[in-house]
């Protein structure tokens, strides 16, 4: 009897899967009866902090991204463009970057469109129907379900320090608090995905369950620093985002790489190419073309970045000043999925490591995120010049800096050179091809044999150099102090004169 029932279920399922239902059927796709309104202005109602306010938004803002100046009169109501102009008026941001203004118009257009179609997107967490992920996964075994969002997302890409993260955060902060939304760094997002996959091990299609869980928690997903340099992540992304998009998720992402350049030169990249097609289909790609690196416009100083192999005693002195009267000693911290990390020396929220202990061992983003949940300051001794011989360590150092920057942690370090010098031997394939050709006076023997030609690392180095520069600035230290005030579990540093 049981076999008969199971057989009937599978025949039922296959019958549906072989039918060509189109988007007009309500039980297959969300109805697309909401046609786009192409009039100059749209009137709609949006919830902000549980207060409904009606306002008019000019659609002209999304048509000319090259206009030089935006005034408060361009937008009435709310959104990232209004907030951007307020911050400029308050002198919190610099004025006059046409590339950022063009990006703000794209974000404002997306904000308007999502607000107009919020009900169709099922963004309100309190109005959404109650349905557990497991139940949805169970019923999807019988009836194919697909419900793409009526709004396309946005994929912002451009050079380092052009303000991509700031602009995305500005957009995210303007969204109503009752919406199902999430903002997360891509490293952290993928760690979360792997953790969920481990949890659902043994399920027929764990990626479908994980996709259902994520889309239940967040319809609007904002991913910062989208990058793919791991073959396992590359193989997961296509199917994962296939489930996310079919569940109605709207993606807003920032990246240093254009969609077509993601995972360039990676192992089994042909299996990753369908994801790029899906990404371009479900998101509008917009380049921020600014040549300005705003991180390098901070008041950089060399208070915590010590150059030279003989500066370890100075680093230890600074570390002692920061921990004050606290006694430093070894400590074990939990990172992820039961794993632990040994900290050689720690006290008062500060950790001290040799470079090889953090970047020459098989550690990754999960370990670094776990570390900075327990510590707000890292003293790192002996950062080397990177090249072909220590390429793996360079990848780990890039990830370490990314996690520190995302965690707003503070870095003290000794290094063999400036941030620019650390990566002078790391080049992209294009940079290597444009190098000076070999001549009779310049033989192979005189070439730099430690030159590392690596596209992913070559693109990532600019971001790391930029972040190391900003992390050594007065402005960053002020942000670090403000972040500490919001983390009571991490003790304040005793000697503030060390800043």
Query: Mind listing the pLDDT tens digit for each residue in 49-86?
Result: 332 233 223 333 333 333 334 433 343 468 888 888 88
In a domain, 274, yes or no: yes
In a domain, 17, yes or no: no
Q: Are residues 283 and 303 in the same domain?
A: no
Q: Which residues of 176-203 are buried (b: 16+ CB within 10 A; e: fewer)?
A: bebbbbbbbbbbbbbbbbbebbeebeee
Please state, in angstroms and rounded to a whole number, the distance separating the CA atoms of residues 309 and 329.
24
Which residues have CB under 8 Å from 194's CB, separation 6+?
Answer: none
Please state, in angstroms and rounded to a whole number, the distance separating the CA atoms of residues 429 and 424.
14
Please state, in angstroms and rounded to a whole number, the distance separating the CA atoms of residues 318 and 340.
27
Q: Are residues 247 and 333 in the same domain?
A: no
- Compute φ and ψ for 259, nearest 5 degrees: -50, -45
| Cα Rg of the chain, angstroms | 25
Q: Are residues 383 and 236 in the same domain?
A: no
Q: Are residues 277 and 298 in the same domain?
A: no
Where residue 447 falls among pLDDT bands split at 50, 70, 90? Answer: low
Say if residue 319's pLDDT is above 90.
yes
What is residue 283's predicted lDDT score, i.e. its pLDDT?
Answer: 97
Please state, in angstroms and rounded to a whole number, the distance separating the CA atoms of residues 171 and 156.
12
Q: Is 105 exposed, middle or buried (0-12, 13-18, 19+ CB in 10 A)?
A: buried
In a domain, 29, yes or no: no
Q: Which residues of 247-282 are buried (b: 16+ CB within 10 A; e: fewer)?
A: bbbbbbbbbbbebeebbbebeeeeebeebbebbeeb
Q: Are residues 268 and 376 in the same domain?
A: no
In a domain, 6, yes or no: no
Say if residue 25's pLDDT is above 70.
no
The whole domain housing 395 covers 294-498
Number of domains in the chain: 2
Q: Which residues of 423-450 are buried (b: 16+ CB within 10 A; e: fewer)?
A: bebbbbeeeeeeeeeeeeeeeeeeeeee
Among residues 431, 472, 474, 473, which one has the least CA distance to residue 453? Answer: 431
Say if residue 497's pLDDT is above 80.
no
DSSP assignment of 166-221: HHHHHHHHTS-TTB-EEEEEHHHHHHHHHHHHHHTTTSS-HHHHHHHHHHHH-SEE
27-53 pLDDT per residue, tens: 333 333 333 333 333 333 333 333 223
Which range (152-161, 282-291, 403-412, 445-454) has the least confidence?
Answer: 445-454
What is residue 107's predicted lDDT score, i.e. its pLDDT?
Answer: 93
In a domain, 150, yes or no: yes
Instruction: Determine contact, residues 57/147, Cβ cutoff 8 Å.
Output: no
Where residue 8 falls among pLDDT bands split at 50, 70, 90? Answer: very low
359-375 pLDDT per residue, tens: 999 998 989 999 999 99
Would you state the structure tokens that stand for residue 264, as one six-digit string?
């360039």
- Compute φ and ψ for 325, nearest 5 degrees: -85, 0
What is residue 375's predicted lDDT score, i.e. its pLDDT?
Answer: 95
Q: How confident is the model over 423-439, as a mean pLDDT?
A: 78
In a domain, 405, yes or no: yes
Q: Calculate what percentage of the chain has a pLDDT beyond 90.
A: 43
What is residue 209's predicted lDDT score, i.e. its pLDDT?
Answer: 94
In a domain, 31, yes or no: no
What is residue 97's predicted lDDT score, i.e. its pLDDT?
Answer: 64
Q: Are residues 246 and 320 in the same domain?
A: no
Q: Are residues 250 and 318 in the same domain?
A: no
87-105 pLDDT per residue, tens: 888 877 666 567 778 888 9
Q: Which residue has the higher pLDDT, 256 or 8?
A: 256
Q: Are residues 474 and 333 in the same domain?
A: yes
Which residues have CB under 8 Å from 78's CB, separation 6+?
Answer: 46, 48, 53, 55, 174
H helices within 218-253, ranges in order? 231-246
What is residue 13's predicted lDDT score, i.e. its pLDDT?
Answer: 38
In a domain, 65, yes or no: yes
Would you state the structure tokens that stand for residue 463, as one six-digit string?
């971001």
Say if residue 138's pLDDT is above 60.
no
Q: Are residues 51 and 164 in the same domain?
A: yes
Q: How confident is the model over 223-231, as a mean pLDDT?
A: 89
DSSP state of 352: E
- Last residue within a domain, chosen from 288, 313, 340: 288
Other residues' Cβ atoms within 10 Å of the Cβ of residue 231: 15
Q: Is 67 exposed, middle or buried (0-12, 13-18, 19+ CB in 10 A)?
A: middle
Residues 91-95: contacts with CB within 8 Å, 24+ apart?
Answer: 94/294, 94/297
- Last residue within a domain, chosen from 221, 253, 288: 288
Where residue 181 falls among pLDDT bands split at 50, 70, 90? Answer: very high
What is residue 149's predicted lDDT score, i.e. its pLDDT?
Answer: 92
Say if residue 183's pLDDT is above 80.
yes
Q: Which residue has the higher pLDDT, 230 or 200?
A: 200
Among residues 244, 242, 262, which one has the least CA distance to residue 254? Answer: 262
Q: How confident is the model over 294-319, as a mean pLDDT?
A: 74
Q: Are residues 319 and 268 in the same domain?
A: no
What is residue 208's predicted lDDT score, i.e. its pLDDT?
Answer: 93
Other residues' Cβ atoms within 10 Å of the Cβ of residue 383: 23
- Last residue within a domain, chosen from 288, 308, 339: 288
Would you state the structure tokens that stand for residue 210, as one six-digit string?
């994980």
Would you state the structure tokens that stand for residue 50, as one six-digit string?
């549980």
pTM score, whole prediction: 0.63
- Compute the C-alpha angle 477/480/481, nearest 5°: 90
Q: Are residues 269 and 325 in the same domain?
A: no
Q: Are residues 188 and 262 in the same domain?
A: yes
What is residue 68's predicted lDDT score, i.e. its pLDDT?
Answer: 34
CATH number, position 224: 3.40.50.300
Instruction: Determine contact, residues 208/222, Cβ cutoff 8 Å.
Output: no
């Amino acid at each position: 009897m049981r076999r008969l029932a199971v057989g009937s279920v599978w025949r039922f399922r296959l019958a549906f899967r072989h039918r060509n239902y189109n988007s007009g059927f309500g039980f297959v796709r969300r109805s697309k009866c909401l046609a786009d309104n192409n009039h100059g202005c749209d009137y709609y109602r949006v919830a902000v902090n549980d207060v409904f306010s009606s306002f008019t938004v000019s659609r002209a803002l999304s048509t000319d991204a090259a206009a030089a100046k935006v005034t408060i009169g361009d937008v009435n109501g709310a959104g990232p463009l209004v907030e951007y102009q307020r911050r400029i008026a308050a002198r919190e941001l610099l004025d006059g970057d046409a590339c950022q203004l063009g990006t703000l118009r794209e974000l404002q257009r997306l904000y308007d469109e999502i607000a107009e179609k919020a009900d169709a997107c099922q963004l309100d967490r309190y109005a959404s129907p109650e349905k557990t992920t497991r139940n949805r996964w169970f019923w999807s075994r019988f009836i194919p379900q697909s419900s793409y969002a009526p709004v396309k997302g946005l994929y912002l890409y451009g050079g380092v320090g052009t303000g991509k993260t700031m602009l995305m955060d500005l957009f995210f902060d303007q969204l109503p608090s009752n919406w199902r939304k999430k903002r997360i760094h891509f490293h952290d997002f993928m760690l979360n995905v792997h953790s969920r996959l481990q949890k659902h091990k043994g399920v027929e299609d764990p990626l479908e369950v994980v996709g259902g869980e994520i889309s239940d928690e967040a319809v609007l997903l904002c991913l910062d620093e989208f990058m793919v340099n791991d073959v396992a992540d590359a193989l997961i992304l296509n199917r994962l985002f296939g489930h996310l998009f079919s569940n109605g998720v709207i993606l807003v992402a920032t990246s240093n790489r254009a969609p077509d350049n993601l995972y360039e030169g990676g192992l089994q990249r042909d299996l990753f190419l369908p994801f790029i097609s899906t990404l371009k289909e479900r998101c509008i790609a917009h380049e921020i073309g600014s040549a300005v690196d705003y991180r390098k416009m901070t008041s950089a100083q060399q208070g915590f970045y010590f150059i030279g192999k003989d500066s370890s005693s100075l680093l230890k002195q600074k570390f002692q000043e920061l921990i004050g009267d606290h006694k430093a000693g070894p400590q074990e911290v939990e990172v992820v999925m039961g794993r632990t990390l040994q900290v050689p020396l720690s006290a008062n929220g500060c950790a001290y490591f040799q470079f090889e202990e953090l970047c020459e061992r098989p550690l990754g983003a999960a370990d670094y995120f776990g570390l900075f949940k327990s510590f707000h300051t890292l003293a790192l001794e002996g950062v080397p010049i990177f090249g072909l011989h220590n390429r793996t360590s360079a990848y780990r150092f890039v990830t370490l800096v990314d996690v520190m920057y995302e965690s707003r942690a503070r870095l003290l370090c000794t290094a063999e050179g400036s941030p620019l010098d650390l990566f002078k031997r790391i080049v992209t394939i294009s940079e290597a091809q444009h190098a000076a050709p070999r001549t009779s006076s310049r033989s192979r023997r005189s070439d730099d044999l430690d030159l590392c030609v690596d596209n992913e690392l070559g693109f990532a180095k600019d971001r790391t150099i930029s972040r190391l520069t900003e992390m050594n600035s007065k402005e960053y230290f002020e942000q670090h102090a403000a972040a500490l005030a919001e983390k009571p579990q991490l003790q304040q540093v005793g000697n503030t004169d060390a800043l």
